[in-house]
Chains A and B, each alone.
Chain A
Amino acid sequence: MIVDKAGTPITATDNVQPDTRHGVILYVEDVSVSFDGFKALNDLNLYINDGELRCLIGANGAGKTTLMDVITGKIRPDTGKVNFGQQVDLLQLDESEIARVGIGRKFQKPTVFEALSVYKNIELSLAGDKGIWTSLFGKLTGEQRDRIDEILRTIGLTNEAFYMAERLSHGQKQWLEIGMLLAAEPRVLLVDEPVAGMTGQETERTAELLTSLAGEHSVVVVEHDMAFVRSIARTVTVLHQGSVLAEGSMSEVQSNPEVIKVYLGEDSGEDSGDDNSEGYPSESGEEYIEASSSKEG
């Protein structure tokens, strides 16, 4: 059940309007998650402003995906608070309720409904009543059809609309998942590594799409492709060992001594330039911070 701060239930059909009077739509406060004693998130604090586009970077195992798991209800944190706007306590909700209040997510590993057509995949993701009887008797309205067509055009899968999703290539699946995200019209989009497996041109289009979404929606992007991050980022948050290490514009973060120390301190020589997508100038090794893995356990 969805309740607001006063404890009064909000039914799913109510369009929950998060209270963003302070300009913040997502509050993550003092969140800790541990797996068998290993702290994947450690007293993490993060505030996402309404309409902002935020990039989240950090080495493998820094806890980025875990953070998204916490926000979307897949993992319950050991301690801490996660609020949507001021009044909606996300920790009280389960995954589907969180999705319905307006937090959408694209997974690191693209997951679409393989046995359904691309069209059906998007149809299922459309915002609206998710109840059983509506699903059984409801029909698509003309408006909804138009919306689906529009999304198909946006993600470039109009011709593949009636393919089974399993036939799609990896990159197409990424797009489809983004399309599903769009269809849900969420207030907050959590996007985990959207451009992995895309060509340079497609990466560019994704960047455009995400930037255009910001403003109306709040977008949180996790990405290892630094060129991509640079091209879209206004604010960047660096995660390290489960907590925020630095926050600011790309150049601020890059010049932050802590960040440099953590990323370049040990094995700065490693340069993964081969990962670099075409169309983006290859810069110094410092750009590719993902090269230094600080996974522990």
Chain B
Amino acid sequence: MNMKTTHTFVEIIRKMSHLHIVVGTLFVATIYVSFCNLAFAESSFLHVSDYTVSLFGKYLCYALLALAVDLVWGYCGILSLGHGAFFGLGGYAMGMYLMRQIGDRGVYGNAELPDFMVFLNWTELPWYWAGSSSFLWMVLMVFVAPGILAFVFGMLAFRSRVSGVYLSIMTQAMTYALMLAFFRNEMGFGGNNGLTDFKEIAGFSLQDPHTKLGLFVVTAIALAIAYWVSNYIVKSKLGAIITATRDAESRVRFVGYKPEYYKVWIFVVSAMIAGVAGALYVPQVGIINPGEFSPLNSIEIVVWVAIGGRYTLYGAIIGAILVSYAKTRFTAIMPEAWLFALGGLFVLVTLLFPKGIAGALPGVARRFGLDANTNDNKTNKNNAQSEEQGTLKAPRAGGQ
């Protein structure tokens, strides 16, 4: 490469916003994985195995979930320790649909009732299972179920101005209560075992590698859309308002906004994104059970975001993928060490890198001359505005 092409290359990258970079990377990665999965024989070293495809699909779901948490935590200062609840609800909505798709192929061969209901001697579907066999209904519920929970919880909590640590603990109690509830057989969601043994989704067999690849691609698209939406939100005036709410909620009130409704709104949007993540996750791993509601799971999401760097959308994604990848590797090599590593990561990141990986990135980018903000002319409006959106400020963790 000669000097000139290098230069233009640098120029292009400089001009790209992180929206382009993230969506572009996703696009390239998806094409690459799909191509290598389909085009190369299993023996080829370029081949990407079906297992890996599913694994990546799982990571992308996590990334989606992390994005949801970052929206409320990084931008609005609501540290939710209960986002697993929304993920779980989305997952259960999908799980119910998949259960109904089994039809009479279950162990008991009952066309109407899922196996566990037959096992419990139930004779008919509970009312809340109505409609669960419809794909469209499922899609609707994936948004509505987490949305309603978030709305009710948010209305109650934010309107009475519960915030900070109290709120975090309440979210944790929420997911904990849901976990206890879903463990009960009488709830009609399969109790301990949850929902599993799925056969097909919208007519495609879940055992078929192509379906798996399809799910992976759908997840990637969902992530790209969610990223675009989130990016739009945080760049809008609404984004500025929620950030202002994070730092000085009462001041926002005196300016004439009702921060509680803004919080509810962003909380609901975030819950819906989490719900979608859960729904995409379930067919790829083949099971949903109450363990998804455990407080530990929710806290793990927060770690992803903290490590990746909150208050940047791409940070959340990087964090989710890296930490999950590390977890996969660790648990394969030395399972006992994983909790040590995770715990250590927590402590180190909060102590040493409060801005997370994304906080360290601009420095790296500057070193290679790739950062748009390196030119000093700050009075230029566009430049300055991108600085504002840029990631330079490490937000304090919440509205104290």
Q: Is the CB of B244 within 8 A of A159?
A: no
Q: Per-residue 0/1 for A261-287: is the Cβ within 8 Å of any B Cβ (1 yes, 0 no)? A: 000000000000000000000000000
Contact mask A94-123 → B, CB, 8 Å, 1/0? Answer: 111001100011010001111111001001
B257 partner, pick from A116, A130, A164, A180, beta carbons under 8 A: A130
Q: Mark A120-133, 1 if CB is under 8 A from B, else 0.
A: 10011100001010
A6 at the interface (CB under 8 A from B): no
- B247-286 contacts to A, CB under 8 A, are 247-248, 250-259, 261-262, 265
Return the CB mask of B218-257 against A: 1 if under 8 Å, else 0: 0000000000000001001110110110111011111111
Nearest-neighbor residue (CB-CB) of B253 within chain A: A95
Is A72 an interface residue, CB under 8 A from the partner? yes
Q: Is B393 engaged at the interface, CB distance under 8 Å to the other chain? A: yes
Point out the residues of chain A lying under 8 angstroms from B258, CB to CB. Answer: 94, 96, 130
> What's the least CB distance linking B166 to chain A, in Å?
20
Comparing B53-61, B133-141, B382-390, the segment that makes contact with chain A is B382-390
**One of B252, B256, B384 near A117 (C-beta < 8 A):** B384
Q: How far is the CA of A99 from the CA of B259 in the complex (A)?
A: 13
A162 in contact with B243 given A96-B256, A96-B258 (CB within 8 Å): no
What is the CA–CA distance of A159 and B379 in the complex, to the nearest angstrom? 7
| Closest-CB distance, B297 to chain A (whole angstroms) | 30
Report if B367 contacts A (CB, 8 A). Answer: no
- Chain B nearest Cβ from A107, distance in angstroms: 8
Q: A132's contact among B240, B248, B256, B265, by CB below 8 Å, is which?
A: B265
Residue B106 interfacial (CB < 8 Å): no
- Known A115-B247, A124-B241, A132-B262; contact A162-B253, beta-carbon cutoff 8 A: no
Complex Cα–Cα for A102 and B247 (A): 24
Q: How far is the CA of A118 from the CA of B89 in the complex (A)?
A: 41
B236 touches A114 (CB 8 A): no
From DSSP, what is the main secondary structure of chain B's interface residues? Answer: helix
Which residue of the partner chain, among B233, B244, B257, contacts A136 with CB atoms under 8 Å? B233
Contacts of B255 in A (CB 8 A): 96, 99, 124-125, 130, 180, 184
The answer to whether B253 and A99 touch across the interface, beta carbons within 8 angstroms, is: yes
In Å, the complex CA distance between A116 and B387 comes to: 10
User: Which residue of chain A has its CB nearest to the CB of B393?
Assistant: A115
CA distance A159 to B378 in the complex (A): 9
Report if A161 contacts B (CB, 8 A): yes
On chain A, the number of residues with a Cβ less than 8 Å from chain B's Cβ atoms is 35
Q: Scan A74-104; emit 1 where CB is below 8 A from any B CB, else 0.
A: 1000000000000000000011100110001
Known A113-B243, A132-B265, A166-B393; contact A99-B256, beta-carbon cutoff 8 A: yes
Distance in angstroms between the alpha carbons of A112 and B247 in the assembled complex: 9
A120 to B261, CA, bound (A): 20
Q: How far is the CA of A99 from the CA of B248 in the complex (A)?
A: 16
Interface flag for A135 (CB, 8 Å)? yes
Q: Does A142 contact B (CB under 8 A)?
A: no
Residues of chain A lying within 8 A (CB to CB) of residue B248:
111-114
Contacts of B256 in A (CB 8 A): 96, 99-100, 130, 184
Write out the residue numbers on chain B whose beta carbons fall within 8 Å of the beta carbon of A137.
Answer: 236
Q: Say whether, besides A99-B256, A100-B256, A120 and B388 are in contact (CB < 8 Å).
A: yes
* Contact digits for A158-174, partner B, Cβ 8 Å, 1 yes 0 no: 01011110100000000
**CB pair B251 A96 closer than 8 Å:** no
Chain A residues with Cβ below 8 Å from B4 are: none
CB<8 Å pairs between A and B, sample of 15 = A95-B253, A96-B253, A111-B248, A111-B251, A113-B240, A113-B252, A115-B244, A115-B395, A117-B384, A124-B252, A132-B262, A137-B236, A161-B381, A162-B388, A184-B256
Question: 17 extra interchain contacts, Cβ-Cβ under 8 A, other than A107-B251, A112-B248, A184-B255?
Answer: A74-B250, A94-B253, A95-B254, A96-B252, A96-B256, A99-B254, A105-B254, A113-B240, A115-B393, A124-B240, A124-B252, A125-B255, A130-B255, A135-B238, A135-B241, A162-B381, A162-B385
